[in-house]
């Protein structure tokens, strides 16, 4: 079983739709959970960061973590063409270590 | 601008050559990283340095050698380049080692022919 699984997409939705992106993981040692956004030919940038189970909201973005089921989600409300990018889930350990990235979901928002 | 910068942005070279990629961050971070992103967008850590000291060294061929002259710089030297080395290489930095908030450079697209 892979440590992190993420549907690669591509996912194409119309402007204004609610987008749901998901990752599952198998490593119970993960302590913090992140979503990075990567535009084409750019470096990833941190979008959301959370430690605990539950929801965290930031503007149109909501990150959801369910530690018991080992999945995380990112919801984008009122999606815009500028949200078109690859979204990477990422996981970290409590001890100073490395981050494990998902393979990314390519998202396209149609005007 | 405060950022992570990399040079060169594009690198095209032949098999067997030796090349270097440079990275600099002016964010005052203590930790820097090198990642490799393959054609399927899979982003995998290669090395991590904290204040010039090697922290993480993943299973990377020893043809790859990182060098950190100071905590603001982390360079990557690659010997005897192979076709499979073609990828985008990203440098990143963070305030603390393993910290989730990592700041990435723009990437260096390496093509080995």
Residues of chain A contacting B, Cβ within 8 Å: 8, 32, 34, 38, 41-46, 49, 86, 88, 90, 92-93, 95-99, 101, 103-104, 106
pLDDT (tens, 9 = 90+) of chain A, 111 residues, equals: 789 999 888 999 999 999 999 999 999 989 889 999 999 999 999 999 988 889 999 999 999 999 999 999 999 999 999 999 999 999 988 665 688 999 999 999 999
- Secondary structure element (H or E) that encloses residue B44, with its range: strand B43-50
pLDDT tens, B32-67? 999 999 988 889 999 999 888 888 888 889 999 999
Angle made by CA atoms A32, A105, B99, in degrees to the nearest 5 = 25
Cβ-based contacts of B90 with chain A (< 8 Å): 43-44
Eight-state DSSP code of residue B78: E
Cβ-based contacts of B103 with chain A (< 8 Å): 45-46
């Amino acid at each position: 079983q892979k440590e992190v699984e993420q549907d690669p997409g591509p996912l194409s939705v119309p402007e204004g739709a609610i987008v749901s992106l998901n990752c599952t993981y198998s490593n119970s040692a993960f302590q913090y959970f992140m979503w990075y956004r990567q535009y084409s030919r750019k470096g990833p940038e941190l979008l959301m960061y959370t430690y605990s189970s539950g929801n965290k909201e930031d503007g149109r973005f909501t990150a959801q973590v369910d530690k018991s089921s080992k999945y995380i989600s990112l919801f984008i409300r009122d999606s815009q063409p500028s949200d078109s990018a690859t979204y990477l889930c990422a996981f970290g350990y409590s001890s100073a270590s490395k981050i494990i990235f998902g393979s990314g979901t390519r998202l396209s928002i149609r005007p | 601008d405060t950022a992570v910068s990399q040079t060169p942005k594009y690198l095209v070279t032949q098999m067997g050559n030796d090349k270097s990629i440079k990275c600099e961050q002016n964010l005052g971070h203590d930790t820097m990283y090198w990642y490799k992103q393959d054609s399927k967008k899979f982003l995998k850590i290669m090395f991590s340095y904290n204040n010039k000291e090697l922290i993480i060294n993943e299973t990377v061929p020893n043809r790859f050698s990182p060098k950190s002259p100071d905590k603001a710089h982390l360079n990557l030297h690659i010997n005897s380049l192979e076709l499979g080395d073609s990828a985008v290489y990203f440098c990143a930095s963070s305030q603390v080692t393993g910290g989730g908030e990592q700041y990435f450079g723009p990437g260096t697209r390496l093509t080995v022919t």
